[in-house]
Amino acid sequence: MEIFDRDGTALAYRELGTGPLAVFVHGFPLDSTMWLEQLELLRGVRRCVAIDLRGFGASDAVAEPVLAMEQHAEDVAALADHLGADRIDLVGLSMGGYVALAFAELFPQRLRTLALVDTRAAADSETVKAGRDMMAVRVTVQGRGQLAVEMTEALLGPAASLHVKARMRTMVEGTRVETVVAALEGMKQRPARFDVLSRLSIPVGVVVGEDDTATPVSEAEQMVDAAPDASLTIVEAAGHMTPMENPTAVADALERIWARAGHEGSVVDG
Ligand code: MLT
């Protein structure tokens, strides 16, 4: 792992490969190890960097009671600065997709392409917000073991291997309880970002597992409809964790998205 200092907070990232910079942002309540296969498969075409968002993985613990998507997006921009890259290919899964959409709103000119994997542009409904409040209480009272069981069952498709399930469990159990609670609050507060998508003229690729019940194909289609230059890839034999459940199909999809940026993308005015 590499570490960079972000105004006194140590943020960790793993890096593999050479070429234009691609930044990978993990989901909730996970860490950069969910991208291990993608880094290996794509190291020949990109300088692949997977961040541990603040509070997660090997990054510093934080005291903030809310981990806002915008704060994470600013950290991603700071990481790109640290690595000397003006423009990046940004890849985000689920909560990482919420961060990527916040980045697209704050720094559209810094995107070469945007890959939204098993995620949504919609805000939380009141029912989802109430569910997050209950999850925050449950994880604080019962600990991470129960959360790991719930998340592994909810997020993986029926074809997921025991090894993938084991990795999920390790990631969830390795995430600090206060990070889980602060991330739930941050996700609750995020706005819908279909308008952000509609203003992007860079290549946008939406990728979703055919068995994803957390962010189903219908939500992926809504994002494709919103963005002017968007493609949809439905990944076979995968639930919500497509990069781990069907790594080759996801790597192929990312290569196709990146290949569309033969020209330098730009932002539509207004
Ligand atoms: C994730 O995988 O990051 C979560 O399912 C996102 C969410 O809870 O909305």
Burial of 22 (0-12, 13-18, 19+ CB in 10 A): buried
pLDDT at 266: 40
Q: Which residue type sits at 154?
A: A
Q: Are the beta carbons of 212 and 118 closer than 8 angstroms? A: yes
Q: Are the beta carbons of 251 and 37 closer than 8 angstroms? A: yes
The residue-averaged pLDDT of 161-186 equals 97
Q: Are the beta carbons of 29 and 56 closer than 8 angstroms? A: yes
pLDDT digits over 184-199, tens only? Answer: 999 999 999 999 999 9
**60 CA to centre of ligand 1 in angstroms:** 21
CA dihedral of residues 101, 106, 108, 111 (deg, nearest 10):
-70
pLDDT at 111: 98
Q: Where do the domains of the chain lie?
A: 2-259
Scanning the chain, the segments in alpha helix (DSSP H) are: 36-42, 69-82, 95-106, 126-142, 144-155, 162-173, 177-189, 194-198, 217-226, 242-245, 247-259
Residues in the chain: 270
Q: Are the beta carbons of 165 and 241 closer than 8 angstroms? A: no
pLDDT at 267: 42
Report the candidate in 206, 253, 198 with the shortest Cα–Cα distance to residue 227. 198
Six-digit token string for 72: 């994470």
Assigned fold of 2-259: Rossmann fold (3.40.50)
What is the pTM (predicted TM-score) of this model? 0.96
Report the candidate in 135, 144, 164, 146 with the shortest Cα–Cα distance to residue 239. 164
pLDDT digits over 103-138, tens only? Answer: 999 999 999 999 999 999 999 999 999 999 999 999
Maximum pairwise Cα distance, the chain: 52
Question: Residue 204: what are its φ and ψ, rounded to 5°?
Answer: -115, 130
- DSSP state letter for 268: -
**187 CA to centre of ligand 1 in angstroms:** 8
Decide whether any atom of ligand 1 lies within 6 Å of the 95 Cβ.
yes
Minimum-distance ligand 1 atom for the alpha carbon of 26: 3
**263 CA to centre of ligand 1 in angstroms:** 32
Decide whether any atom of ligand 1 lies within 6 Å of the 94 Cβ.
yes
Share of the chain above pLDDT 70, in %: 97
Of 56, 190, 215, 219, the one to substitute when testing ligand 1's pocket (max ligand atoms within 8 A of C-beta) is: 215
Q: Which residues, other chains included, contact 160 with Cβ-Cβ below 8 Å and sequence gap of 6+?
A: 239, 241, 245
pLDDT at 262: 77
pLDDT at 263 over 80: no
pLDDT at 55 over 90: yes
Residue 162's CB is within 10 A of a number of other CB atoms, namely 7
